[in-house]
Structure 1
Amino acid sequence: MVAFSFSDRFVDLVSSGLKTQTIRQTRRAKVGDAIQLYTGLRTKACRKLTAADPICTYVGYVAIRPDYLTVGDTSKHPRDRDEFAALDGFKDYADMLAWFQERYGQPSFIGYLHRWEFQ
Structure 2
Amino acid sequence: RFVEPIRTGTKRQTIRADRKRHARAGEQLQLYTGMRTKHCQLIGRSECLSVWPVTLILREVHSVVLDGFRGIYGDLDGFARADGFKDWAELAGFWSANHPGVEIFDGVLIRWGDLA
Shorter-chain TM-score bucket reads 0.7 to 0.9
* Counterpart Cα distance in 2 of 1:54 and 1:42: 21
Superposed structure 1 runs of 4+ greater than 4 Å apart? none
2:4 aligned to which of 3, 12, 31: 12
TM-score, normalisation: structure 1? 0.79
Structure 1 counterpart of 2:34: 40
Two-structure CA RMSD over aligned residues (Å): 1.8
Q: Partner amino acid for 2:28?
A: A
The answer to whether residue 75 in structure 2 is matched with residue 80 in structure 1 is: yes
Structure 1 counterpart of 2:110: 114
Question: Which segments of 5 or more consecutive residues in structure 2 lack a partner in the other structure?
Answer: none
Asked whether the 8 Å contact 1:64–1:110 carries over to 2, the reply is yes
1:54 aligned to which of 46, 49, 56: 46
Shift of 1:16: 1.9
More strand by proportion, 1 or 2? 2
TM-score, normalisation: structure 2? 0.81
Distance 1:97 1:84, change over 3 A: same
Asked whether the 8 Å contact 2:10–2:81 carries over to 1, the reply is no
